[in-house]
């Protein structure tokens, strides 16, 4: 369904104006039957994001999305923060259908400083995806797909695209190009995929990579299956003298579908040794090295195949639990 952003904003402006409540104005009563939503903003120094609450009585998904977009464009009366949609560009229009929201920005969007642009995206995506109505958000500029500073299309973003670390004075996001190894349908091979994501600067990149592996392939892409049991928890992770020590919970030893532990081990090792400063990987379970694991692992491409082969395996019907 195509929405006229101006008409929606005019219709919903009164609702937002009446029920917008910042973190420092709790004296205002919550309207009866209203639902709470978090709206993210950017601090005046453009170094981090924060949020405040608004309450909406409407239950209509289109009206809620329009209200959140209006709130994202509403400037702070006392210049306490910067509104993500009031940063020198305009929203030319948007579509919202089947949980996917596509925002079309004016050409001025390209004038944003790289670090500020990342925070703008983070605030918008976290606000909309946090509503429970929007699954993914996609940006275009003058109708063309948004590209990052490296020239790659940004594509769909969701709540996990930006790993938050609110509460720290420096809450910037760093861009990472990482290579992850997921399993084939039969569980016997690994397929490498590249991901361009943003993570909090306070999080070790090694931890981010392992968390992404545990989360599995996003969006259920054809040919790719989880290579690590999703119930696995990271107990600790550190790198010293080129060796990355990954301490996992015992769930790691429980196969993900029909993926053997040996494949899970190499999925983690291959993904980590691709990072700067990591030459080998030592995997521990509950603080100790299980008998079935070796002392350390290096890059092993013996079980790595291409996506074409992975799709052939998937087509054969040999599918593991996903």
Same domain, 6 and 140: yes
Q: pLDDT digit string (tens) for 134-180? A: 999 999 999 999 987 656 678 888 877 776 444 333 345 677 788 89
The DSSP symbol for 82 reads B
Contact 106, 92 (CB under 8 A): yes
Cα angle vertex 207, ends 201, 212, to 5°? 100
Which parts of the chain are beta strand (E)?
2-3, 20-21, 35-42, 49-56, 91-97, 100-105, 136-141, 144-145, 173-183, 190-200, 234-240, 243-248, 280-285
Beta-bridged to residue 102, according to DSSP, are 95, 138
> Is 62 a residue whose pLDDT tops 80?
yes
Residue range 130-137: mean pLDDT, rounded: 94
Same domain, 187 and 125: no
Cα angle vertex 150, ends 144, 153, to 5°? 30
> Is 72 a residue whose pLDDT tops 50?
yes
Q: For residue 175, tell me if it sits in a domain.
A: no
Q: pLDDT digit string (tens) for 199-220? A: 766 678 898 899 889 988 876 6
Same domain, 139 and 31: yes
More confident of the two residues 221 and 134:
134
Residue range 251-279: mean pLDDT, rounded: 90
Contact 79, 44 (CB under 8 A): yes
Which pLDDT score is estimated for 205?
87
As for how many domains the chain has, the answer is 2
Same domain, 11 and 139: yes
Q: How is residue 271 written in tokens? A: 């993904």
Q: How is residue 83 written in tokens? A: 């509104």
Q: pLDDT digit string (tens) for 36-58? A: 999 999 988 888 888 999 999 99
Q: For residue 164, tell me if it sits in a domain.
A: no
Contact 49, 124 (CB under 8 A): no
- Exposure string (b/e) for 234-250, b if CB count within 10 Å is 16 or more? beebebeeeebbbbbee
Same domain, 187 and 123: no
Q: How is residue 249 written in tokens? A: 């919970």
Q: Which conformational region is residue 98 in: left (phi greater than 0), alpha (psi within -120 to 50 degrees), or beta?
A: left
What is the gyration radius of the CA atoms in the chain, in angstroms? 22
- Whether the CA torsion 79, 62, 18, 20 is positive or negative: it is negative
Contact 119, 155 (CB under 8 A): no
> Is 183 a residue whose pLDDT tops 80?
yes
Spatial distance between the Cα atoms of 294 and 310, rounded to a whole number of angstroms: 27
> Is 28 a residue whose pLDDT tops 60?
yes
Q: How is residue 134 written in tokens? A: 């929007």
Q: For residue 100, tell me if it sits in a domain.
A: yes
Same domain, 129 and 77: yes
Q: Give the confidence band of 97 by pLDDT, cuts at 50, 70, 90.
A: very high
Look up the domain containing 51 and give its range.
2-145
Which pLDDT score is estimated for 285?
92
Same domain, 221 and 289: yes
Q: For residue 251, tell me if it sits in a domain.
A: yes
The DSSP symbol for 29 reads P
């Amino acid at each position: 369904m195509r929405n006229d952003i101006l008409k929606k904003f005019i219709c919903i402006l009164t609702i937002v104006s009446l029920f917008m409540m910042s973190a420092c104005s709790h004296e205002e009563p919550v309207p009866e039957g209203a639902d709470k939503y978090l709206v993210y903003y950017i601090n005046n120094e453009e170094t981090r994001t924060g949020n405040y609450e608004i309450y909406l009585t409407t239950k209509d998904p289109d009206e809620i999305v329009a209200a959140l977009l209006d709130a994202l464009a509403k400037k702070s009366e006392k210049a306490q923060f910067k509104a993500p949609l009031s940063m020198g560009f305009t929203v030319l229009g948007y579509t919202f259908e089947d949980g996917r929201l596509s925002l079309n920005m004016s050409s001025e969007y390209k004038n944003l400083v790289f670090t500020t642009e990342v925070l703008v995206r983070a605030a918008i995506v976290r606000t909309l995806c946090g509503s429970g109505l929007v699954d993914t958000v996609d940006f275009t500029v003058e109708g063309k797909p948004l590209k990052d500073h490296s020239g790659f299309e940004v594509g769909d973003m969701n709540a996990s695209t930006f790993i938050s670390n609110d509460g720290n004075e420096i809450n910037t996001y760093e861009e990472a190009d990482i290579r992850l190894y997921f399993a084939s349908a039969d569980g016997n091979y690994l397929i490498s995929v590249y991901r361009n994501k943003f993570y909090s600067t306070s999080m070790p990149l090694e931890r981010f990579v392992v968390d992404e592996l545990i989360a599995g392939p996003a969006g259920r892409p054809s040919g790719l299956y989880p290579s690590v049991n999703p119930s696995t928890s990271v107990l600790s992770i550190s790198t010293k003298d080129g060796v990355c020590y990954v301490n996992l919970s015992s769930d790691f030893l429980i196969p993900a579908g029909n993926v053997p532990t040996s494949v899970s081990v190499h999925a983690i090792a291959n993904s980590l040794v691709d990072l700067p400063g990591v030459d080998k990987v030592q995997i521990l379970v509950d603080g100790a090295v299980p008998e079935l694991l070796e002392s350390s692992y290096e890059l092993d491409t013996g079980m790595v195949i291409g996506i074409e082969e992975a799709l052939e395996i998937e087509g054969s019907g040999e599918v593991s639990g996903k």
